[in-house]
Amino acid sequence: MPINYYIFLALALFSIGVVGVLTRRNAIIIFMCIELMLNAANLLLVAFSKTHEATASLATSGSDAQIFVFFIMVVAAAEVTVGLAIIVMMYRNTHSIDVNFLNRLKN
């Protein structure tokens, strides 16, 4: 498969994630859109790693990218725990998870 296809697919997923972050007001959905964007990046990393494996001489070349993806997942998992904790906290205080209520920055 040409690398272009993977690039376009990843970009599409990423852009959909961006649109979701921009348009939705539900904090959980925004959060999920962020996860979507992370996965788009992951997919692209793996695709490039395979390109690299095809062209490079070393047997293990390209595996760094997959290690990266692994660590991205690790970080994402940690992020999700903390993020969801924050959302729960926010719901407990405002009885809503609408980000428009988080407008304290204005004042």
CA-nearest of 85, 97, 80, 5 to 38 is 80
In the complex, least distance from residue 23 CB atom to another protein, rounded to whole angstroms:
4
State yes or no: residue 7 binds another protein (CB under 8 A): yes
| Binders in 58-87 for another protein, by CB under 8 A | 59-64, 66-67, 69-71, 73-82, 84-87
Size of the site for another protein (CB under 8 A): 83
State yes or no: residue 94 binds another protein (CB under 8 A): no
| Binders in 32-61 for another protein, by CB under 8 A | 32-33, 35-36, 39, 42-43, 46-47, 49-51, 53-55, 59-61
Give the 3-state secondary structure of 26-94: EHHHHHHHHHHHHHHHHHHHHHHHHHHHHHCCCCCCCHHHHHHHHHHHHHHHHHHHHHHHHHHHHHHHH
